[in-house]
Structure 1
Amino acid sequence: MKEKKITTTVQVFDTIEELPPEVRLLMKKAQAIRDQAYAPYSKFKVGAAIQLEDEVIVTGSNQENAAYPSGLCAERTAIFYAGSQYPHKKMKTMAICIKSSAKVVTEPIAPCGACRQTIAEYEVKQDQPIEIYFMGEEGKIIKAKALLDLLPLAFDASFL
């Protein structure tokens, strides 16, 4: 038996003002769509914005349902919209932000497992990583250069 150590590296920005201008704009778009989320049960609103290779920006917010599994996360709402409306364009960058009515969240909140798997699928499909920036309502922002930074040993179609 061998032991294998898996490490990852991310970048941490202290404030939104430290982000490159195009990423700051993307995060602002994510914040705007976040406020339109339908989250009457969790009170946890999430917004996602994706910049495509031609600079088009698509957005999505979480959409809840009383039958919880029927809802959809912001990240998947945005990525599925981009995939359906712009199927031949590569996704370059994703910005994600959250807001809770219970408290001010100052820690960056990473995508859930289902969203990570979906992002991984699109990275494989386009044969190019998607930069992912995520934050809470305010405070630090984390940047992952690719989904594999958040989901090492990811499962994809190459295993099928």
Structure 2
Amino acid sequence: MFLKIKNINNNLRIEDIVRLFTFDTPIYRFKEDNNTIMIMYDRLSHIGICLELNGASLIDPLEIELIEILEPVVIKNRRKKEGRCVCFISNNKISIDELEALTSSIIFYVYKFIGGKHFFIVEFEKDFNISKFTSFYDIFLFDEYLEALIGSGKV
């Protein structure tokens, strides 16, 4: 499942939120709101945060607010190969096949959320330039590249 959370009082940096979760938990950040992130989440045990089993609230001493829980449906699943992974929502501006043709990359997961948007998890080469596709994505993956992106001033 996915947790969409927001830093209520803007007193916690994104990298601080990331450190609350295990290193293998992908972190996504919404372009339109720098204080809102989405976490792909398969466990209820982590440091400093306790999610109630009914999904009603997020108990957190660091004032992080749970906005919603998203339950995606996998509509396409391909085997993952080695490489850099980038996630984004297409905003319905590009199809799965068009994206694969443009990037020469393999999309190995596609989730569909309410409203019809598609959430792509895409395999890219490590040196692939994602910036030319900025009009296509709403959410960008912050995983092992988080510190490099923060250090470069891009986030």
Q: TM-score normalized by structure 1?
A: 0.27
Q: TM-score normalized by structure 2?
A: 0.28
The structure richer in helix per residue is: 1
The structure richer in strand per residue is: 2
